[in-house]
Amino acid sequence: MTATDVSTSTSTAQHIELTERYAAHNYHPLPVVLAEGEGAWVIDVDGRRYLDCLAGYSALNFGHSNERLVAVAREQLGHLTLTSRAFFNDKLSGFAEALARLTGKDMILPMNSGAEAVETAIKVSRKWGYEVKGVPAGQASIITMQGNFHGRTTTIVSFSDDEVATSGYAPFTTGFRSVAYGDIDAVAAAIDETTVAVLFEPIQGEGGVVMPPEGFLRDLRALCTERNVLMVADEIQAGLARSGKTFACDHEDVVPDIYVLGKALGGGLYPVSAIAADRDVMDVITPGSHGSTFGGNPLAAAIGTEVVAMLEEGTFQARAAEIGDQIEAGFRPLVGNGLVGVRVRGAWAGIDIDPSLMTGRQMSEALMERGILAKDTHGSTVRFAPPLVASDDDIALLVTAVTEILTAG
């Protein structure tokens, strides 16, 4: 049964009422209460089925309840889940080796949430700047991009230009310089003797799947090398097969100095994140200088190792590219017919709706009525990121629904 009738049931209303009463209102979710999930589909408390076209902001690249990942997690739950890094554990070694191999880097530093991984990359970049590059103490600067989204810690929102994310949280952390996304000349002009890193998303997800101009990543790689600045790629959403490649930087055959990874690294089962870098960068981290109680725990490591094994097969990257071709073919003809813009990279799409027709929220609500879950961002923009196990019929359902809503609107 699909969600053709989303009138709020008593059960749904009760869950929403209790959540709104006892949980802080830091999100504005659609009025659906999910209870089960398998593959690309989820089921709410009333038994209605929905095609999940958000996939946990790309944390669920491999689908809900992926059999391989669930089996690994269940096995590990029966053995050992946490030791802290006060001791070695028998799963971290394999995970570290596997992720280093996948990224082509010498070492990894495991954390939990994506924001923690970004914070880790910032700390490593600054320490590298002082100890290796020779930046005077306390003066390290990092270049960031306008329109970015790297998380919501106090330091990270310090270089955000999203007023909702920043309002009421000052004073902010200094040491960041923001330039226009994709403008290599602006990056070059912002670099000086204090610059230790350029932190960027190869695709800006929160902005609505925004991509830089062709060649920007290659130019940035060359510039960072020339000016002795670390190139730090936040691949938390864009990486791990979402874009049709293992990493979004692969689209321009670029290798950053630091990969920042998360979301899909935990397979949608558990929060797993990490940074990966070569030894000349990572060796600035010494015992006690950074850490996490849960980072690198056996359960996370077991899941992460299986995620890497799945990615090394290449099937998810190929499927993401196929999904992208189908989405592109379906959405591109709608430009000028309800849409003013379409951006697709792999199984990731952003559409800009003619604001005279509806907002992104209204489109998301209309899709929910048709049994499809998606998320709006920035006014009339909607993002789509279906699990990479979605079928051709699933994607056709999405394209048809968007087309019908725009026609009716």
Task: Pick the catalytic residue from 263, 294, 331, 375.
Answer: 263
CA dihedral 24, 25, 28, 30 (to 10 degrees): 50
Catalytic entry in 44, 219, 234, 376: 234
Active site residue 263: yes
Residues 266, 35: Cα–Cα separation, whole Å: 20
E strand segments, 48-111: 49-52, 107-111
273-277 and 107-111 as β-strands: parallel, antiparallel, unpaired? antiparallel
Marked catalytic residue, from 62, 149, 200, 294: 149
192 flagged as catalytic? no
CA distances from 10 to 13, 16, 20, 366 (A): 5, 10, 15, 21
Q: Which of 58, 53, 44 is nearest to 3 (CA)?
A: 44
Which residues, 6 or more positions from 314, have their beta carbon under 8 angstroms from its beta carbon?
A: none
200 labelled catalytic: no
* C-alpha gyration radius of the chain: 21
CA distance 348 to 3: 23
Positions marked catalytic: 149, 234, 263
